[in-house]
Amino acid sequence: MKRIIFPKSLRTGDKIAVISPAGAVEPSQLEKGIEMIRNKGYEPVLGEHLYSNFSNGYHYAGTEKERIKDINWALNDNEISAVWASRGGYGCQHLLQNIDLKKFHKDPKWYIGYSDNTVIQSYLLKHGFASIHGQTIKTSSFGATEESYDLIFDLLNGKSLEYDLKSHDLNKMGICEGQLVGGNLALIYALLGTDYSFKFKNRILFIEDIGENFYALDRMIMSLELAGVFRKIKGLIIGGMTNMGNEKENAHYEDSFDEFAYKLISDRISKYDFPVVFGFPNGHIKDNRPLIIGGNVKLEVEDKVKIEFEIK
């Protein structure tokens, strides 16, 4: 397995680039997040096209060329110490064939985001760099807890992560250790069979999603099954499954950890014996606590759940 590089810790006064690699965003939606960066002692630097809006079947934060320009600037500018996505949405896949890491290789920095940003994090990991799967600058309609952000700043300051969770009825007991991969299930699914897909062998997989019909969720899980993903991984962590389904008899629109979605996943993976954690607080939910994509994680699923990250 390729040695994973963890970006250096930030110091007071360091610059954090804020960019929009996917969906369009309004200035009012980022005011609190940008001010939070200042209050934590860092300098936010806004991408040239942060607030651009290009409509092409979806409201993107600028044309593909504009978004590529911003991400390549943020990743390679020597004055920038971290890159924080304003939001997800859709559009990060457009950038993959044109991301430039020439200077980034010499001066890697943390990339922070979730949802559609999963594809950027997969790209970085394939090149040997860890990233933070955590809350974007723009919060969703659910809001975001202070801890969702505070834990990200802890990581930027060089601290590691450790979580102790209550058990879930669908959990599968066991202990395993390996590199964490994954993120938003729809994007993991979209990358299957491409050069940009995560590697799954001996990894621990994390998945979360929002707004999928139950049959679409089943289709994605079945695609992972048919691709041999569940035969390869050592463990599985399932986060938020929010606003899932439109079948009236089963839908739980206000439930961030949809019971029917969880049961569907549990049934599909029942023949495997790796440890499984349901209900991890990460995803399109208010309590969106960060995970390190590419980090080595020890997973203990017993009467309680313990998840420890090792940063080297």
Q: Which residue numbers are catalytic?
A: 115, 208, 284
- Confirm if 77 and 51 have CB atoms less than 8 A apart: no
What is the DSSP code string of the chain? -PPPBPPPPP-TT-EEEEE-SSB---HHHHHHHHHHHHHTT-EEEE-TTTT--EESSSEESS-HHHHHHHHHHHHH-TTEEEEEES--SS-GGGGGGG---TTTTTS--EEEE-GGGHHHHHHHHHTTB-EEE---SS--TT---HHHHHHHHHHHTT---EEEEE--TT-B-EEEEEEEEEEEHHHHHHHTTSTTSPP-TT-EEEEEEES--HHHHHHHHHHHHHTTHHHH-SEEEEEEEES----TTT--TT-SB-HHHHHHHHHHTTT--S-EEE--S-SSSSS---EEET-EEEEEESSEEEEEEE--
Q: How many CB atoms lie within 10 A of CB 43?
A: 15
- C-alpha span between 58 and 105 (Å, rounded): 33
* Tally of CA atoms within 13 A in the half-sphere of 292 that contains its CB: 32
- C-alpha span between 283 and 269 (Å, rounded): 21
